[in-house]
Structure 1
């Protein structure tokens, strides 16, 4: 999943708590119910966080925006990362964010499992995110330069995960190798070669 985050879209969104299946899915697709996660040992973690969408906040509670995250990752490491990058927006930047997961099965608060909801929902082993930081007003891929900050994170979906998100920084190249995706495909090839091999060394708070 990917999205843009600018100042008008970021803030302290009220918690809607209206998790629900997405009935706009094509006919025949399984609609994951909100009741499938509670009691599983995993949180309903947002791909696109609630606080990243103020005007359309309720849409972030559709179950297609959820993934199974262990409590310590969702409520700790990941929440701190999300709050940090919102400070970048408040500091005059806009962000382009890509997030996903891969692997099968990991350890939640009630032990190790590979699926929930009678095998219909897979527990990911890793959760990752890429954040491209640009000055507010810059939108085009050609405005990405060799000094553009790119934060790539790859964290284990385990309750033993450490609190400091900065310890899970990696390269875009490593994420592409793990997922099979081409994550910065709109950026010029030469610039990708520069940025995708770099581990972010910027501040974490």
Structure 2
């Protein structure tokens, strides 16, 4: 009888962890790999975005899974910043629940999940779905339309996706990465040709997509550990159907190059002397 009661109590407790008010609990499980998830904005705020509705074209949105600067005129993020290690990677499947971001100020027009339909452009993740798979809620958060940009299929599904996979490969090899990515310019060519805006909201189609990365071996005090020898990777890819003619590593540039094109200041929390060195070099590590 005593053993039966212990088993019964255990089942009840286990069930209560997963069911609350008749719904599945989608909170984070114990993460796999490093126990600490890095601060998604640890390396700096590239545009000095702020959570002030007056600052509508550089509006800071802080989520548990990533941080972004939203541009209400373009209806896309200016940039999204996130940390990647195996602490963020788990067993959860891709949710595919694209939807409007209801946390935008109520007076702003929110992009709908179908706004890209028929445009010839993919709903391209900025922070990838596969970078956030420790819980249903974490993966689901990557499908908010504030984390999307219109991407030519031959950009999104080829070099862009390949570089995402490479970043996760580094994470599984014992690295933690600090990543910032986003759109640049106006006008891209998708499946049905050149467009500058799509959808009823007039979502601006970027001319380029870009990403900058700092890669560190797993550890603590990450900002303090970055030095002049730390690996950085930056890519700048045309947002058109020619993008797949090259592999992602053929699109490598310096972080300085991307700063000059976007006006952003990446990794500004680093000491100036370190930032100057690592942002000037073009990664040439064999892939």
Same fold (TM over 0.5): yes
The corresponding residue for 1:34 is 113
Partners of 1:82 and 1:143 in 2: CA distance: 24
Partners of 1:22 and 1:118 in 2: CA distance: 16
Secondary structure in structure 1 of the residue aligned to 2:142? helix
Partners of 1:141 and 1:74 in 2: CA distance: 30
The corresponding residue for 2:191 is 109
The corresponding residue for 1:43 is 122
* Alignment partner of 1:200 is 2:279: no
How much has 1:147 moved relative to structure 2?
1.1
How much has 1:125 moved relative to structure 2?
0.3
Output the aligned Cα RMSD. Answer: 1.2
The corresponding residue for 1:21 is 100
Aligned partner of 2:140 among 48, 53, 58? 58
Secondary structure in structure 1 of the residue aligned to 2:216? strand
The corresponding residue for 2:75 is none
The corresponding residue for 1:175 is 258
Structure 1 gaps, min length 5: none
Contact in 2 for aligned 1:18/1:58 (Cα 8 Å) = yes
Partners of 2:273 and 2:172 in 1: CA distance: 30
The corresponding residue for 2:85 is 6
Structure 2 gaps, min length 5: 1-79
Partners of 2:209 and 2:163 in 1: CA distance: 12
The corresponding residue for 1:191 is 274
Aligned partner of 1:147 among 206, 215, 229? 229
Query: Cα deviation per residue 1:107-139 (whole Å; 9 max; x = unaligned)?
Result: 101010100113520000000001100011234
Contact in 2 for aligned 1:173/1:196 (Cα 8 Å) = yes
4+ long deviations beyond 2 Å: 10-13
The corresponding residue for 1:166 is 249
TM-score (norm 1): 0.96
How much has 1:10 moved relative to structure 2?
2.4
Query: Cα deviation per residue 1:30-53 (whole Å; 9 max; x = unaligned)?
Result: 110011112100000001000111
Partners of 2:184 and 2:92 in 1: CA distance: 28
Contact in 2 for aligned 1:76/1:163 (Cα 8 Å) = no
TM-score (norm 2): 0.69
The aligned length equals: 204
1:12–1:150 Cα change, 3 Å: farther
Query: Cα deviation per residue 1:125-182 (whole Å; 9 max; x = unaligned)?
Result: 0000011000112343121011100000000001111240001000111111000000
The corresponding residue for 2:179 is 97
How much has 1:12 moved relative to structure 2?
6.5
Secondary structure in structure 2 of the residue aligned to 1:84? helix
Which shows bigger deviation, 136-145 or 194-203?
Answer: 136-145
Which structure: larger Rg?
Answer: 2
How much has 1:15 moved relative to structure 2?
2.1
